[in-house]
Chains A and B, each alone.
Chain A
Amino acid sequence: MNGYEFFIDLSRCIGCKACIQACSECDTHRGRAMIHLEFVDRAVSTQTAPVVCMHCEDPACARVCPADAIKQTEDGIVHSSLKPRCIGCSNCVLACPFGVPHYVAAIDQMMKCDMCFDRTSIGKKPMCATVCPSQALYYGPPDEIRRMRVETPVNEFRFGHQTVRTKVRLMTSPDTDHLDFDIMSFMPGADDPVPDVTELVAWED
């Protein structure tokens, strides 16, 4: 919609769960939230993390789905599972690098965030980002958020040799253009092509 994009800034989150409650009120969700919010470790901090779907360019959840139940539309939205197809196997739950999909036992189906497709497809903002009191979840024009904030939006996440690009952007420190999650990225040979599998296990000897 209007070139609007979705941005997450975990540092702003106050853990109020307005996003969760609002998600459950999105017309087609019928009281069930498709997103979740975690305390990182309440014993230590009030830091919380809202988890919405990152909408990967090449979604692992859809790729590993044996029933072809997860569809991606042209606008880049990775949809929740299709009820007639989903077999509840939870492959997607295991495959997602961001911990997004949840298997809902009561209906034997995986449910996840579709960026409020029923709202965004008709020009409205997603429920969670509309209500978010801290604007840790923001939905709007990319140039607007660049103007307002010092943090940089990033949508490239490197897990060792695997790079995941997402539609949703994570606000991070200025001058950052991607995030590395695997220490291998910082070690000698990080840019080498994927090593042979046999070489990978060589260190065990």
Chain B
Amino acid sequence: MAILSADENKLIERYGPHLNYEPPGGWDEQRECSLVKTHCCFCGVQCGIQLKVHDNKVVGFEPWEEFPVNRGMLCPKGVKRYLQNEHPDRILSPLIRTRDGFREATWDEALNVTVEAIRKIQSKYGRDAFAMLGGASMTNEKAYLIGKFARIALGTANIDYNGRLCMVSAGAANKMAFGVDRAANPWSDIPLAKAVIISGANIGECFPILTDYVWRARDNGAKIIVIDPRMTPIARTADLFLPVRPGRDSALANGILHVMIERGWVDHDFIEKHTAGFDRVVETVARYTPALTESITGVPAASIIRAAEIWGPAETSMMLHARGIEHHTKGVENCLTYINLVLASGRIGKPGSGYGTITGQGNGQGGREHGQRCNQLPGARDIENPEHRRFIADFWRIPEESLPRTGLSSCEVFDAIEAGKIRGLLSISFNPLVSIPDASRTRAALEKLEFYGCIDFFMSESARHADVFLAGSLQEEDEGTVTTGEGRCVRLKQSVTPPGNARVDWQILTDLAARLGRSEHFPYAISDDIFRELAAASKGGSADYSGMTYAKIEENMGIFWPCPSLKHPGTPRLFEGGRFHHADGKARFHAFEYRPPAEDIDAEFPLFLTTGRVVSQYLSGNQTRRIGPLVDQYPEPLCEMHPLLAKKLGIATGDIVRVETRRGDIEVPAQVVRTIRPDTIFVPYHWPGRKSANLLTNRALDPISKIPEYKVCACRVERVAPKAVTL
């Protein structure tokens, strides 16, 4: 039983989060350091950074100005990321749960206990009763290995990853529209655009480096349109700001396209030659007059028309979106309606013209390409496609019938644990207790597991429930590659070796595979062995890495896929000449009527709750809530609300408010600001326990992408205590 074996406070006292403020050994500007050129471990921008290393310890950083994407720029997370290394909370040895916490164990014992539990559960309940969950902050090598490990060593269909909580709606939409799942353009196209739409992307806080790209576009004369329920930092000086009501994005895109068609701002020649399905879209959006669109979206009709006036006739343009339109039960539909705006304009596949989702996680792009997903095989192949199955089964030298079929997605895994269908779980780099909606149910599911094994570097809130904790590696402790939000595969260099008895993640997996009797399928001595295998496995797939090598990636400071041969330079910009990746070479329009979110507001729960990030924290906070200067910058979640709402509820900044949904309630301080719609409140999600926004959110899934609806649900708010007085 994976219930907590000790009082939570005791576990926190022992395993943190504690705050680290100083490099190991304290501040010492005299010590001799070497610099390792690598990348930040956080968001999908993957800024180049030089880690300062002394005596096998990371002691600081230096900007890496030669790396072309960020040219030395970093956000506060990147600046302080080195403080996760040599952190006092670091788990240095495998742990096994006891009656009052955990005890240290040898690797032999921890791995044997794990394998025994896997065997026991699988023989009793079937192979699929044991699930594996990975993460999109890990390298391509690990993403590939996890998919292969789950399907060959565990033989389970139920392998998925936390990218399911991130950008899968965009991925699915990209495949449906373009036949390939990748941002269409390199970010260097942003400054060349004359119109930029940023929809549901808090660029200033979530991808801070891209701010410079947007400002450079404006310096070159671009008009910037920002669509968001909040005036985020990037919205503050936008040319046009559309304060969309949460959950109404597809209606807004339909409304803008309505005006474009009416005014003749569509490229009929492009549509005719390079796309299919426009007629149905014309029929659908005919209904979305500015007046109707205003009534659905809460965006003034005049602003909708103005957006069309900027976007429609622009000479060049970039469409950027992120989780704001993707985290919905119609996330795929939202993305596709925005893609319609791009296709109708004909501006894609050219310098300064195109489209991209901005992936949120460190390897948000690569993490979704190499088979770590429940419906996917390496090379971004489809697990149900007979040809794809045969290719990978042959490549892996296994009978095709033994290759599992589509499994459950991340949230569905927890539903299945609840239903008693999944009994055992191995997770790596995933903190579901903080990151999956409806956290009370997530906790109950973890408690119900017969076995929970966790590979991680810190004791996350979820890991406290583990039966076995396998001490894994931080990003800077392994070699590998990640693929950034623009599709550029970059090289991560090992800066230091794992401390104590901690081990490199992939070696833990290959050891488990050996104990499960499958060692012949995992013959890796170094990370490069895995990379060469994944590159070969991707050959002919849509995400083709077969022309990449570590050396080539390093020399070029990254290679964009597809890169099908050693001589191929990679493909920074997709769809040049209007050639899309569907069999007929055409892109697809998709017509969708607006439909409401799974849970809309009503008399009982009259306010929209939307959730997101702050600049100083990353994902579930398992790393960043341990870094002192980042915690000081934004110590706890605040409930943002407009003064009109605050006045109605008798709330002032700093007052403690209770936010309640049908699933739970939290108590956090209020922050009264004019930068959010009066019908909406915002709470960032990086925190656990009584301040966890995901106690409130709705685990309703998009039918195609299986992404949960983080960005809209119904809530109510009340004041419970005055502002705490500091004496």
Chain A residues near B (Cβ < 8 Å) = 11-18, 20-22, 24-25, 27-28, 30-31, 42-48, 125, 127, 130-135, 148-150
Q: Which residues of A contact B211 (CB under 8 A)?
A: 12, 14, 133-134
B71-112 to A contact mask, C-beta < 8 Å, 1/0 = 011111011100000000000000000000000000000000
Given contacts A28-B29, A30-B27, A43-B672, whether A133 and B73 have CB atoms under 8 Å apart is yes
Contact of B219 among A18, A127, A150 (CB under 8 A): A150
Nearest CB on A from B191, distance (A): 10
Q: B414 → chain A, closest Cβ, in Å?
A: 33
- In the bound complex, how far is the Cα of B216 from the Cα of A134, in angstroms? 9
In the bound complex, residues from chain A placing their C-beta under 8 Å from that of B63 are 125, 127, 130-131
Q: In the bound complex, do residue A14 and residue B204 qualify as a contact, i.e. CB atoms below 8 Å apart?
A: yes
Nearest B residue to A131 via CB reads B74
State whether B674 touches A20 (Cβ < 8 A).
no
Asked if residues A25 and B60 are in contact (CB atoms below 8 Å), the reply is yes
Q: Are B22 and A31 in contact (CB under 8 A)?
A: yes
Which residues does chain A contribute within 8 Å of B673, judged by CB atoms? 42-44
B671 near A135 with CB under 8 A, answer: no
How distant is the Cα of A24 from the Cα of B63 in the complex, in angstroms? 14
- CB contacts (< 8 Å) of B671 on chain A: these are 42
Contact residue among B209, B237, B633, B643 (Cβ-Cβ distance under 8 Å from A133): B209
Asked if A14 and B205 sit within 8 Å, CB to CB, the answer is yes
Give min CB distance, B644 to chain A, whole Å.
Answer: 13
Instruction: Please provide the 4 A-B residue pairs with the shortest distance between their CB atoms, ordered closest to farther.
Output: A14-B204, A133-B208, A14-B233, A30-B27
Residue contact A135 to B76, C-beta cutoff 8 Å:
no
A-B contacts, 11 of them at CB < 8 A, read A11-B237, A14-B205, A15-B615, A16-B615, A18-B74, A30-B27, A43-B653, A43-B674, A46-B675, A125-B63, A150-B219
Whether the Cβ atoms of A16 and B205 lie closer than 8 Å is yes
B239, CB-defined interface residue at 8 Å: no
**Shortest CB–CB separation between residue B297 and chain A, in angstroms?**
22
- B236: chain A residues at CB < 8 Å are 45-47
One of B27, B65, B79 near A18 (C-beta < 8 A): B79
Contact with A along B212-237 (1 / 0, CB 8 A): 10011001000000000001111011
Q: Scoring B residues 324 to 345 as 1 if CB is less than 8 Å from chain A, else 0, what string do you get?
A: 0000000000000000000000
Residue B21 at the chain A interface, CB threshold 8 Å: yes
Across the interface, which residues of B come within 8 angstroms of A20, CB to CB? 76
Given contacts A20-B76, A30-B27, A31-B21, contact A133 B212 (CB under 8 A): yes
Q: Assess whether A18 is in contact with B204, with CB atoms less than 8 Å apart.
A: no
Q: Is the CB of A24 within 8 A of B629?
A: yes
A72 to B212, CA, bound (A): 33
Q: Is B616 positioned at the interface, with any CB of A under 8 Å from its CB?
A: yes
Q: Is B288 engaged at the interface, CB distance under 8 Å to the other chain?
A: no
Is B61 in contact with chain A by the CB < 8 A criterion?
A: yes
Q: Are B27 and A16 in contact (CB under 8 A)?
A: no
Knowing A21-B629, A46-B236, the reply to whether A131 touches B72 (Cβ < 8 A) is yes
B615 partner residues in chain A, CB cutoff 8 A: 14-17
Complexed CA–CA distance, A16 and B205 (Å): 7
Contacting pair A134 B212 (CB below 8 A): yes
Closest residue of B by beta carbon distance from A23: B79
B231 touches A46 (CB 8 A): yes
Interface centre among A30, A31, A47, A133 (most CB of B within 10 A): A133
A16 and B212: CB pair below 8 A? no
User: Could you say which of A12, A20, A31, A46 has the most chain B C-beta atoms within 10 Å of its C-beta?
Assistant: A46
- Beta-carbon contact of A45 and B215 below 8 Å: no
Q: Which residues of B contact A127 (CB under 8 A)?
A: 63
Return the chain B residue nearest A22 by Cβ: B79
Decide if A135 touches B73 in the complex (CB within 8 Å): yes
Q: A16-B208, A18-B208 are in contact. Are A135 and B215 (CB under 8 A)?
A: yes
CA distance A21 to B628 in the complex (A): 11
Chain B positions within 8 Å of A45 at CB level:
231, 236, 674-675
A148:B73 contact, CB within 8 angstroms: no
Contact A46 B73, CB 8 Å, known A16-B205, A133-B212: no
Residues 614-670 of B contacting A (Cβ, < 8 Å): 615-616, 629-630, 633, 643, 653
Q: Considering the chains assembled together, what is the distance between the CA atoms of A28 and B615 in angstroms?
A: 26
Q: Which of A31, A130, A132 contacts B27 (CB 8 A)?
A: A31
A27 to B23 alpha-carbon distance, docked (Å): 12
Scoring A14, A18, A25 by chain B CB atoms within 10 A of each residue's CB, the highest score goes to A14
Min distance, Cβ B241 to any Cβ of chain A, angstroms: 12
Q: Out of A25, A132, A149, which one reaches B73, CB within 8 Å? A: A132
Q: In the bound complex, do residue B75 and residue A18 qualify as a contact, i.e. CB atoms below 8 Å apart?
A: yes
Contact across chains for A16 and B674 when beta carbons are under 8 A apart: no
- Identify the closest chain B residue to A26 (Cβ): B29
Q: Verify A134–B215 contact, CB threshold 8 A.
A: yes
Map CB proximity to A onto B350-364 as digits: 1 under 8 Å, 0 otherwise.
000000000000000
Q: Report Cα–Cα, A11/B218, bound state, in Å.
A: 12
Nearest A residue (CB) for B221: A150
